[in-house]
Structure 1
Amino acid sequence: MLKTFRHRWRAWVNRRLPRSDSRLFTQKTIFILPTGAGVVFGILLLIMLVTGINYQNSLIYLMTFLLGAVFVGAMHQTHNNLSGLKLTLLRTGEDFAGQSVPFHFRATASKRGAVAIRLSCDGEVLPPIHVLPDQSVDVALFVPSSSRGYLRPERVLIETRFPFGLLKAWSWLRPATAAIVFPAPLKAPEAQLMMGEGDDENAAQSAPGQDHADLRPWREGDLSQRVLWKRFARSGQMVVADWQGDQGQPHWLDFNHYPGVDAELRLSYLSSLVQDRSKQQAPFGLRLPGQVIEPDTGATHTQRCLRALAVWGQKPPRDAIRWPHGTRDREVSDSQTAPDVHVGGAA
């Protein structure tokens, strides 16, 4: 019975508060109830009222109605403290599985302002914030993650108990934008070689310490610095030079280099290798089933590879699909492939 009630309550709230990265809180979207202190306060008022009726004491009547008026005034003030407030998701962060991912919000107050507003999600609670009338305050809420993938909180709670803590007014923002959680890096077995087939042969063709460049047509995502502009001015063809030499031959980080290993474990191995190659500032490429990222270097290329590892085999979350926080909806088998996508060097 209780489970059915909770399910219907959540379904009703979800219909009333559809997913959106921005919400203006009004009377239709704000909930208010007495807190524990408010319930005790109300019981004391009831006892005082019964006592005043029993003893026909005018002073008790006066105190009862006076405190009752304070309670009603606090109810209006608590509700107005949240009414007219606009909460907007500005951007999401990225991090590795097991870490807390930042979600950056902006709270904009109405002409009444907002005092002691608190944001929370999955046990992470921000300190109370105060927003001056017609002003904005930016805050970052860190949402915990458990596994790689898309991280989209089901609800971000916003509440206030100002001024006396007797009542609690609250609502939710259900973000539509998801953050990306990278696979937790795990050191790969040393016996596995990350050189792709044919790399040794190509390396033998280039003398050590001598620069060598492979010319290829420009692809979307290639760095503009690597385009041979003089040749483009002469022939009108955009050609990119893949330089090799002092930095060594580019390594291929390949998903298929770990036969018999769980897919998620392979992704963790590759995540660690991407970090290692990035620290060495060495060129590397990434091969996943259905996706290839050409060799390149730099922070942008590293982020691109980590994002590819994070979302491999998954679809972006939609309203019809309830993705747990940073977890997979289902296990991705070794044989599962995504549509063919070929990505060039980092833009």
Structure 2
Amino acid sequence: MKNPFRNRFSRWINRRIPRSDLQIFSQKNIFILPTGAGVVFGLLLVIMLLTGINYQNSLIYLSTFLLGAVFVGAMHQTHRNLSGLELTLVHPGEGYAGDDIPFRFRLKAGRDDAIAILLSCEESGLAPVHLHSGQAQDVTLPVHSAHRGYLRPDRVRIETRFPFGLLKAWSWVRPVSAGVVFPRPVPAPEAFSTVEDGEESAEARSVEGNDHADIRPWREGDLSQRVLWKRYARTGQMVVADWEGEQGGPYWLDFNAYPGADHELRLSYLAYLVNERGRSGVRFGLNLPGQIIEPDSGPAHAARCLRVLATWGEERPRDAMAEPHGTRKKERETTSEWVAEGQA
């Protein structure tokens, strides 16, 4: 059961801190409260004050007021530690489902030094960062991923407890940009593509009788038709023949080649094959329902195919609170009024 108070508090925070890849912290978006040690310290001050009143002891008064001044000074210093600080999302990361996706942020101090700054997201966090006035530093925050698709943290928390740990000042940044999570690679069974290569494939098949071939050891994912079974029967070594004429013929990675598997498992199969083809440097194309990546080779092509597999069927995250409720309706009514006045 959802907590209505927590939901209202979350909506209030989202209105106060809109989504942005750049956040400058000020009095409008910095929150400060005593820590557990600060609460105990405050209770001790109250007890000391009551004791001083009861016994009319000037030394207890002096100690109480001095420690109270220290508490107030710590409150101002803790707040100033975040005030003027800039936090920018430089680059949302990429990775595989189940791994930690690196998000690179840039911290830049304002007019004051920023000491013992902590950056965290859910269960992951970074070591304290110290910045001198005007200094900038890049940090990488790992964000855990569970499924493929777009990954955008709802909130990244920034916090400080300097100087005495009696108070904590914190705020959040709510990024707009999203990282990309690739499908988790799963070794793919042997399958045959349903894509017709057309003239290019016919040209490749026409030279299969060429005697000039490159013999290499068998790698997982190679088709059984390429294995030299006679040599395997003689020597026990499983080798594959790469014909010269096949260098121009693309090998299609086809979504429809695995009819018995669900969609996510097919994407994991294809991610595994993309990695295999990318490492071997062979030319291949990717066929997905509604989207085709033309044959190519190289690391850039493999990375593009992985991004397509990650975002296939997914919508890029959008901020649900971009406009207050009823804004578009009011705009339409105002526009209709203007049009009616113009016609009159």
* TM-score normalised per structure 1: 0.80
Deviations along 1:208-257, one digit per CA (max 9) or x if unpaired, are: 4779xxxxxxxxxxxxxxxxxxxxxxxxxxxxxxxx73636311001111
CA distance in 1 between partners of 2:81 and 2:88 (Å): 17
Flag the structure with higher helix content: 2
CA distance in 2 between partners of 1:77 and 1:175 (Å): 27
Distance 1:66 1:118, change over 3 A: same
Query: Where do 1:145-184 residues align within 5 Å?
Result: 145-184=145-184
Give 1:206 shift. Answer: 2.6
- The corresponding residue for 2:204 is 203
Unaligned regions of 5+ residues in structure 1, if any? Answer: 212-243, 323-347
Aligned residue identity for 1:49: L
CA distance in 2 between partners of 1:184 and 1:134 (Å): 42
CA distance in 1 between partners of 2:259 and 2:73 (Å): 69
Please say if residues 196 and 251 of structure 1, whose CA atoms lie closer than 8 Å, have aligned partners that are also in contact: no
Please say if residues 204 and 246 of structure 2, whose CA atoms lie closer than 8 Å, have aligned partners that are also in contact: no
The root-mean-square deviation of aligned C-alpha atoms, in Å, is 2.0
- The corresponding residue for 1:258 is 258
- The corresponding residue for 2:192 is 193
Query: Where do 1:304-315 residues align within 5 Å?
Result: 304-315=304-315
- The corresponding residue for 1:36 is 36
- The corresponding residue for 2:297 is 297
CA distance in 2 between partners of 1:320 and 1:105 (Å): 24
- The corresponding residue for 1:139 is 139
CA distance in 2 between partners of 1:294 and 1:198 (Å): 11
Query: 3-state DSSP class of the match of 2:247?
Result: coil
In the alignment, does 2:267 pair up with 1:267? yes
CA distance in 2 between partners of 1:263 and 1:129 (Å): 43
In the alignment, does 2:82 pair up with 1:59? no
Deviations along 1:284-317, one digit per CA (max 9) or x if unpaired, are: 0000010000110001100110000000001110
Unaligned regions of 5+ residues in structure 2, if any? Answer: 214-243, 323-344
Give 1:204 shift. Answer: 2.1
Query: 3-state DSSP class of the match of 1:245?
Result: helix
Please say if residues 209 and 245 of structure 1, whose CA atoms lie closer than 8 Å, have aligned partners that are also in contact: no
Aligned residue identity for 2:273: L
CA distance in 2 between partners of 1:204 and 1:299 (Å): 27
More moved, 65-74 vs 252-261: 252-261
- The corresponding residue for 1:99 is 99
Distance 1:246 1:256, change over 3 A: closer
Alignment length (residue pairs): 289
CA distance in 2 between partners of 1:92 and 1:245 (Å): 42
Percent identity, please.
61
Aligned residue identity for 2:153: P
- The corresponding residue for 2:70 is 70
- The corresponding residue for 1:332 is none
Larger radius of gyration: 2
Q: Provide runs of 4+ in structure 1 moved above 4 Å.
A: 198-202
Give 1:139 shift. Answer: 0.6
Of structures 1 and 2, the one scoring higher in RCO (CA 8 A, sep 6+) is 1
Please say if residues 85 and 114 of structure 1, whose CA atoms lie closer than 8 Å, have aligned partners that are also in contact: yes
CA distance in 1 between partners of 2:66 and 2:211 (Å): 89
Query: 3-state DSSP class of the match of 1:276?
Result: helix
CA distance in 1 between partners of 2:60 and 2:93 (Å): 57
Please say if residues 103 and 142 of structure 1, whose CA atoms lie closer than 8 Å, have aligned partners that are also in contact: yes
Please say if residues 188 and 272 of structure 2, whose CA atoms lie closer than 8 Å, have aligned partners that are also in contact: yes
Distance 1:289 1:209, change over 3 A: farther
Distance 1:258 1:321, change over 3 A: farther
Give 1:80 shift. Answer: 0.3
CA distance in 1 between partners of 2:158 and 2:174 (Å): 11
CA distance in 2 between partners of 1:78 and 1:250 (Å): 61
Please say if residues 109 and 134 of structure 2, whose CA atoms lie closer than 8 Å, have aligned partners that are also in contact: yes
CA distance in 1 between partners of 2:29 and 2:320 (Å): 22
More moved, 247-256 vs 108-117: 247-256
- The corresponding residue for 1:81 is 81
Deviations along 1:134-155, one digit per CA (max 9) or x if unpaired, are: 1111111010101100000000
More moved, 164-173 vs 250-259: 250-259
Please say if residues 115 and 131 of structure 2, whose CA atoms lie closer than 8 Å, have aligned partners that are also in contact: yes
CA distance in 2 between partners of 1:44 and 1:250 (Å): 77
